[in-house]
């Protein structure tokens, strides 16, 4: 098995990728989505969630018979804080800090075979408002799933990191405060969420 991973600027793109992956026959138990909490007004404006309570709702974010997206929920990942997530990677990231030298999402990704550089990039992308999709696939299906994910225009990490470095970014810092998108960015994310009809389901 190999972990295929891409991040998207919008939740809508990531959601479309997840649907395509599941329709291609990949079980929802092998798919994960982790999004910046601002994609959902209900979660962003709801009660605060602490990292000490991170695992309390984990049963609700591992996906189910209705598909991965039906299991989306709010949880806190060490180093990122509250996110909207579902799937095996989110469940691993919640508990990763206790078992890996690098905890949180970075630790979960590294444990799944993702190199440290990409794990850091994905963590920073979510902090900045993006959405990560990660899929466990048999080796002989990697090319097919990568193709499906590419259709929905994932971010080129090399170009994005270059832009971040031009702004002074050097590395993912799990102790840094979460980046808050500006109001225009937040409204765009929430509009896409509402347009997909998901706002009342998570």
- The structure tokens listed for 12 are 């809508």
Query: Rounded to the nearest 10 degrees, what angle do helices 116-127 and 157-166 cross at?
Result: 70
Q: What would the mean pLDDT of 166-178 be, rounded to a whole number?
A: 84
Look at residue 143 in the predicted model and tell me its pLDDT: 95
The pairing of beta strand 2-8 with beta strand 31-36: unpaired
- pLDDT tens digits, residue range 30-74? 999 999 887 766 655 554 444 434 444 444 444 444 689 888 888
Residue 25: predicted pLDDT = 94
Q: How far is residue 142 from each of residues 2, 26, 36, 105, 134, measured CA to CA in Å? A: 7, 11, 26, 22, 12
pLDDT given for residue 202 in this prediction: 38
User: Residue 148 — very low, low, confident or very high, per pLDDT cuts 50/70/90?
Assistant: very high
CA atoms within 13 A on the CB side of 9: 7
CA dihedral 108, 83, 38, 164 (to 10 degrees): -20
pLDDT at 93: 87
In this prediction, what percent of the chain has a pLDDT beyond 70? 70
Which range is least confidently modeled, 2-6, 16-20, 39-43, 69-73?
A: 39-43
Going by C-alpha positions, the residue among 42, 70, 62 that lies closest to residue 199 is 42
Task: Please give the residue that has the higher pLDDT: either 27 or 192.
Answer: 27
| pLDDT tens digits, one per residue of 78-98 | 888 888 999 999 888 886 544
pLDDT of residue 31: 96
- Contact call for residues 49 and 40 (beta carbons, < 8 A): no
Cβ 143 vs Cβ 4: under 8 Å: no
How far, in Å, CA of 200 to CA of 194, rounded? 8
The per-residue pLDDT for 152 is: 93
Quickly count: other Cβ atoms within 10 Å of residue 180's Cβ: 14
Q: Where are the domains of the chain?
A: 2-195
Q: What's the CA gap between 66 and 29, in Å, rounded? A: 11
User: Residue 99's pLDDT is what?
Assistant: 46
- Start-end of H helices in the chain: 11-23, 41-44, 88-99, 104-111, 116-127, 142-151, 157-166, 183-195
Q: What is the pLDDT of residue 60?
A: 44
- pLDDT by residue (tens digit) across 96-121? 544 444 558 888 999 899 999 999 99
């Amino acid at each position: 098995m190999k972990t295929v991973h891409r991040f998207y600027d919008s939740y809508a793109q990531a959601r479309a990728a997840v649907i395509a992956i599941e329709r291609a026959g990949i079980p929802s138990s092998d798919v994960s989505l982790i999004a910046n909490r601002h994609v959902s007004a209900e979660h962003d404006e709801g009660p605060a969630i602490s990292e000490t309570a991170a695992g309390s709702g984990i049963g609700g974010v591992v996906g189910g018979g209705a598909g991965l997206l039906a299991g989306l929920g709010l949880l806190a990942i060490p180093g990122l804080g509250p996110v909207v997530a579902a799937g095996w990677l989110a469940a691993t990231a919640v508990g990763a800090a206790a078992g890996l030298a690098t905890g949180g999402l970075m630790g979960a990704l590294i444990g799944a075979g993702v190199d440290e550089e990409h794990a850091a990039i994905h963590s920073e992308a979510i902090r900045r408002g993006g959405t990560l999709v990660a899929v466990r696939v048999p080796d002989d299906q990697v090319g097919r799933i990568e193709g499906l994910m590419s259709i929905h225009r994932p971010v080129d990490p090399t170009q994005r990191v270059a832009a971040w470095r031009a702004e002074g970014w050097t590395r993912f810092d799990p102790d840094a405060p979460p980046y808050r998108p500006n109001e225009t960015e937040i409204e765009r994310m929430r509009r896409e969420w509402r347009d997909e009809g998901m706002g009342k389901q998570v």
